[in-house]
Amino acid sequence: MLNNPKYRILEPLLLSGMVILGMIIGKNFVDNKTGNSLLDIHELSEEIATTGRVEEIIRFIESRYVDHIDSDKLVEEAIYSIFGTLDPHSNYIPQATLAEINEDMSGEYLGVGIETLYYKDTVFVESVLPDSPGELCGIMRGDKIIAIDNKGVAGTELSYSEISALFDKKKGSKVELIISRSNKELKIDCEINLLPRKAVTIAYEIVPDVVYVKIQRFSGKVYREFMDAIEPFVDGKKDVSLILDLRDNPGGYLPETIKMLNQIFKEKGRLLVYTKDKSNKRIEYKTNGKRFYNIGQVAVLINGGSASASEIVAGAIQDWDRGVIIGQASYGKGLVQEQYPLTNGGAIRLTVSKYYTPSGRLIQTPYTNKNGNTELDSNLYKTMVLNREMKASGGIFPDKLIYDLPLTNTETCKFALDYVHLFSVLNYDKNLESNMSDDLDQQFASFLQEQDSIPLDKKLLCKSEINDAIKADFIKHSLGMQKMYEYLNTEDPYITEALDYIAKDMNLADLLPEK
């Protein structure tokens, strides 16, 4: 009878975890958007709870199981197991990471305004936000943080997350840092304040009447940031062309995306995107005709890291032949999630609908889970004005495919690029010229050789690509973000293609999506 006693013990544990999860999700959901759609879950969980089966199972396990049971861990593992049967974008967010995720999307966070990296048991200051408390109290790039509020953090067994948690304080409170700079220890007091997490990282006039805008994510403030960024270049001018860089932009909030698209389309009532939920209810998002600036030609830059809201922007512009899409095929995320907070401090993100581009394309990349496979849409769609053929699922396919990528696409160089920021932080000083020597690649090669954690077969060099990356990093922190982009964009094939398209006023009808 007891062929597999371990399985017979774990089976009720898993079942209890599943039922507990049902209670947590059903009883503790808080949703201000969908109204009555959650009431059935709430009532069902109460009905389950009144049977006493969950309490009976927990009491039985706690009183009889041979080892100590961590009930919280059991429930969390059950949650992850359940979400593993759904799509890749539905997930459980534990309390430990929820605050950081929410801050990233809200567009602001509490802190002193420094970015750090962890190297050989030591926290180094990677960058300092201009006009932040960190800059005002004198923190500099390359500083080593020795102690935080009299708690030693260098050469200890503290994890990086434990060290970061020491900065978690209320607005207006102080944090005391002991730092090491040029082999001298300094005591610095900094105030915790609310700081911006910029979604629009750079905007500048790359050539006369052409504005380049880099959007990092579609956060809760991206529309306002976008408008503020382009205003100096478009106000009072008849027409200004736009290069919208959405490379490696993972997406974000749909309402902010729609507001931004309204500034690119002047027509009223044009369909930008629509969603369908489980009951096939269709919700459409259209232009409002309230464009404040005259934006002429548009070029959108995408790659495999462009997802979700980035693909909604690119899809609307491509479907209506509003501009040219340049780069690599996008990620392919055509699912919409809503986030529901739980009383345990965590949250879940659940896919509640699918979105479609104006032409009807579902650009979701096929995925496999325990509930089956999604089907690849092999149909061809046509743009709304010029009837150009387009592919459907698997992402947005560019009108102009870029084969020669910036930097490099080799695994060796990808690996080495991970160490560029570390190298530049450890060798950084305020004298830009000393960091722009011709032998940077050789210095970097020596640095890689000194890293014991790097396998011998990976201690290689990518020469010019690495040289450019290091110089760009030094420029960013010496002269600012804009100078770095100006340096990189001069030889970026994406930018070259966009400028060529705008300068020649090319006809989209002559451009076919690359196969």
Using alpha carbons, list the distances in angstroms from residue 180 to 144, 155, 177, 184, 188.
5, 13, 10, 5, 11
d(CA 289, CA 268): 4
Terminal-residue alpha carbon distance, the chain: 60
Q: Are 325 and 302 in contact (CB under 8 A)?
A: yes
Side chain identity at 438, as an amino acid letter?
D
DSSP of 139-186: --TTPEEEEETTEE-SSSS--HHHHHHTT---TT-EEEEEEEETTEEE
Hey, what CATH class is 200-404+498-510 in?
alpha beta
State the Cα–Cα distance between residues 353 and 330, nearest whole angstrom.
20
pLDDT score of 57: 64
10 Å Cβ neighbour count for 245?
28
CB atoms closer than 10 angstroms to residue 263: 19
Query: Which residues have CB under 8 Å from 494's CB, separation 6+?
Result: 245, 247, 301, 326, 327, 402, 406
Contact 287, 265 (CB under 8 A): yes
Take residue 286 and report the two structure tokens written for it.
Answer: 């259209």
CB count within 10 Å of CB 385 equals 12
Cα separation, 490 vs 51, whole angstroms: 69
For 370-390, what is each residue's pLDDT tens digit?
A: 665 566 777 889 999 999 999
What count of Cα atoms within 13 Å lies in the side-chain half-sphere of residue 50? 6
Token pair for 204 = 């500048």
Q: Which helix (H) or strand (E) holds 221?
A: none
H helix or E strand, kind and range, residue 282: strand 282-288
What is the DSSP code (8-state) at residue 492? -
Cβ count within 10 A of residue 92? 18
Integer Cα distance of 359 and 188 in angstroms: 57
pLDDT digits (tens, 9 = 90+) for 487-509: 889 889 999 999 999 988 777 76
Give the bridge partners for 202, in sequence order: 214
**In whole angstroms, what is the distance from residue 83 CA to residue 225 CA?**
35
Q: How many Å apart are CA 282 and CA 275, to the nearest integer?
A: 6
Torsion angle of the four alpha carbons 276, 278, 279, 280, in this order, in degrees rounded to the nearest 10: 30
Work out the number of other CB atoms within 10 angstroms of the CB of residue 332: 20
pLDDT score of 412: 63
Contact 134, 190 (CB under 8 A): yes
* Alpha-carbon gap, residue 375 to 367, rounded angstroms: 8
**Identity (one letter) of the amino acid at 227?**
M
Q: What is the pLDDT of residue 359?
A: 96
Which CATH class name applies to 108-195?
Answer: mainly beta
Tokens of 119: 């190297």
What pLDDT, on a 0 to 100 scale, did the predictor assign at position 37?
A: 29
Kindly report the backbone phi and psi dihedral angles of residue 327, in degrees, each rounded to the nearest multiple of 5, phi listed first. 135, -130
Q: Which amino acid is at 455?
A: P
343 and 28 Cβ atoms separated by less than 8 Å: yes
pTM confidence score: 0.80
**What is the distance between the alpha carbons of residues 107 and 195, in angstroms, rounded to a whole number?**
9
What per-residue confidence (pLDDT) applies to 330?
95
The string of DSSP letters for 311-358 reads HHHHHHHHHTT-SEEEES------EEEEEEE-TTS-EEEEEEEEEE-T
In this prediction, the residues of the chain whose per-residue pLDDT falls under 50 are 1-52, 54, 407-409, 515
pLDDT digits (tens, 9 = 90+) for 286-320: 999 999 999 999 999 999 999 999 999 999 999 99
